[in-house]
Amino acid sequence: MLASTHGVGISGSSARMVSVQVHRTKGARIHASGISWNALRHCLARVFAAFETCGWQRPSGAITLHVGPEMHHALTAHLDLPIAIGLLTSMGKIPYEALEHSLFIGEIALDGSLSSTTAIPQFEMVSAQSPRNAWNIYTPALILPSTQTREKRYIHRRCSHLSELVEALNGQRQLPVLRSKNNWNGRLKRTDETASLFETIRLDKQQRLALLVAAAGQHHALIIGPPGTGKSMMARCIHELLPPLNEAMALQLQTWCTSRGETMPLSEVPPFRAPHAQSSAAGLFGTWNKERAIAGECTMAHGGVLALDEFPEFNRSCIESLRTPMERQTIQIGRTSGALHLPFQALVVATANPCPCGFFQDRQRKCSCTASVINRYLHRITGPISARFQLHLETTVEQSLAAELPSEAPTGLSSLANARAAVQQVRKILTDQPRLDLTWDTGSAQALEDHVGYHRCSLREVHSLKSIARTHALIKEWPECSNNSRPEIDMESVAFACQFRIFDRPNWWKNGQSTNWRNYPSEATKTEIR
């Protein structure tokens, strides 16, 4: 006697419909196909105890259970309900016609009550996996399909006990219908900060404009400077400038939080992830095994900022593994059984000290590190990984003290509201036209060619310089660039792009080693300070 129903199989952070078939014949054995024996053994122990509590006898004979497509995961408690319904149908407790166009999701307790303790991510209703489409979804809670396959033809019926579900399938009871609500209307919205970091941080005009360019063009930034010069605050300022998340991106973040065993509210605020420098490669990029896939910090920063503070202190494997994700915006985790692809659409902002003590290149405080120690420390940021950062910003104590705060009534791009509007507008232009090619005047094109020839820039570095100059030109002409007319890349945009590449300048390391370049305070000055 064969009974077939449908359930949901979880595969990492996604779920899909699976077919659950139960076959009973003469004999005294239990065989599992498509599911591990330990998972089936635990499931049958719960199901048989629930049968006895409800007054039903255990099914007799040989039982063969098949779950297809085959599941390689051990967390299968959500398949308790479809397996129990299949067994009851093979015993004659439920008519076969009642299982037509039905999907069952839930975990069965020993007393027969149903629960949805196992978090089910948004599942895909793929009709090609089964000759029948699922219409009625029986579940203790509301389970939404994915945004790509979400349709109104799926009816969610709430069931809290196994006996109630059996009566409903026999036509003796009417189960209530769960109505889905638009949760996006109740999302956490970003409030207007009264005292934002972008308006209170002390930066010069070029550094403030560099933060705007990084946020608008999604350019990865590497900030180097002594301690206390505002490197971490600059990463927070970039996060303040990012546009809000849309519904699809927010739902994706919720799904990946489920894979990590975490919960997060639906929010339009872009994420800001700041992993510790001692984080492992699995914690940073994610991992997956036979049970589930777990998203890493890179994926959890989707649509936001991934702040890597004290970047040279990270593990060497973590630093070098960022090359491909930063360039292709995807993370591929390979195993012998397959490969897992996770998106990496986050803005990476890395901060670093110029040396272990932090006072290299400082004119006022002496550096206690030797040249070999500094050289070994900076070589942790290799050339290939530094080339992935389009913007290289340098902060000093003198710049932080000399910079002035914006006026109390900020105008132009010094205001957070105007800066956000400019970033969102430029991002929309670059998204709608990813291959936007602005016109170059004769002087700017020749200046870029001279810079590339003098510093022997690679093709990747040339592409970074062009993209930064393009973003700078769009930001500079805001809000006139919203029209069909596009600005021209002039010498100012090229100079801006070239000055934020400190690793391309050969004199950057030489100036730091030169004792004549430094100007330490005299003993008389120190006494006056005391």
List, for residues 337-371, the tens digit of each pLDDT value.
Answer: 677 788 888 999 999 998 888 887 676 677 888 88
| 77 Cβ neighbours under 8 A, 6+ residues apart | 42, 43, 107, 117, 118
Question: 306 with 299: CB under 8 angstroms?
Answer: no
Q: For residue 511, name the pLDDT band (cuts at 50, 70, 90).
A: low
In this prediction, residues 143-151 reach a mean pLDDT of: 51
Q: Report CA-CA distances (Å) from 288 to 167, 323, 477.
A: 40, 21, 46
139, β-bridge pairs:
158
| Summary mean pLDDT of the chain | 81
Q: Examine the pLDDT at 150 and tell me if it is beyond 60.
A: no
- In the predicted structure, residue 134 carries a pLDDT above the cut 70: no
CA distances from 477 to 211, 228, 498 (A): 16, 33, 19
Q: What is the mean pLDDT of residues 170-199?
A: 77
Task: Copy the structure tokens of residue 104.
Answer: 């069952």
Question: In this model, does residue 410 exceed pLDDT 50?
Answer: no
pLDDT at 215 over 90: yes
pLDDT attached to residue 398: 65
Q: Quick check: 413 and 210 in contact, CB under 8 A?
A: no
Phi, psi of 233 (to 5 degrees): -65, -35
Identify the pLDDT of residue 522: 46
Token pair of 524, please? 């008389």
Alpha helix positions (H), 433-506: 442-455, 459-476, 491-499
Q: Are strands 347-352 and 305-308 parallel, antiparallel or unpaired?
A: parallel
Query: In the structure encoding, which two tokens stand for residue 381, read together?
Result: 């940021």
Q: d(Cα 387, Cα 6) in Å, to the nearest integer?
A: 51
Q: Report residue 37 as tokens.
A: 């024996």
pTM: 0.77
Question: Residue 513: pLDDT above 60?
Answer: no
Quick one: pLDDT at residue 525? 40
Burial environment of residue 79 by CB neighbours within 10 A (0 to 12, 13 to 18, 19 or more): buried
Can you list the domains of the chain with their CATH numbers? 2-180 (3.30.230.10), 197-421 (3.40.50.300)
> At CA 125, angle to CA 249 and CA 133, rounded to 5?
155
26 or 69, greater pLDDT: 26
Structure tokens given for 343: 């998106």
Q: How far is CA 74 from CA 10, 122, 212, 246, in A?
A: 10, 19, 47, 34
Most confident of 121-125, 130-134, 161-165, 433-437: 161-165
Q: d(Cα 247, Cα 234) in Å, to the nearest integer? A: 27
Which segment of 31-35, 240-244, 482-486 scores lowest on mean pLDDT? 482-486
Q: Tell which wins on pLDDT, 154 or 291.
A: 154
- Please state, in angstroms and rounded to a whole number, the distance separating the CA atoms of residues 20 and 67: 5
Across the range 121-145, mean pLDDT stands at 60
**What digits encode the pLDDT tens for the residues 96-124?**
888 888 888 888 999 999 887 555 655 55
Choose the weakest-confidence range: 78-92, 163-177, 510-524.
510-524
333 Cβ contact list (under 8 Å, min separation 6): 285, 286, 287, 288, 339, 340, 341, 342
Q: Which DSSP letter does residue 188 get?
A: B
125-129 contact pairs (CB < 8 A, 24+) = 125/17, 125/149, 125/151, 125/154, 126/16, 126/17, 129/16, 129/17, 129/18, 129/19, 129/69
Q: What pLDDT was estimated at residue 436? A: 80
CA distance 288 to 12: 7
Please name the residues in contact with 133: beta carbons below 8 A apart, sequence gap of 6 or more: 101, 125, 127
Q: What pLDDT does residue 185 have? A: 75
Phi first, then psi, for residue 311 (nearest 5°) are -60, -45
Give 469's pLDDT tier (boundaries 50, 70, 90).
Answer: very high
Q: Residue 40: its pLDDT value, please?
A: 86
Read off the amino acid at residue 331: I
Q: Is the pLDDT of residue 212 over 80?
A: yes
Highest mean pLDDT among 40-44, 149-153, 307-311: 307-311
Q: Please give the structure tokens belonging to residue 316.
A: 């060497």
Alpha-carbon distance of 93 to 81, in angstroms, equals 15
pLDDT tens sequence across 327-342: 999 998 887 767 778 8
In DSSP terms, 25 is beta-bridged to 62
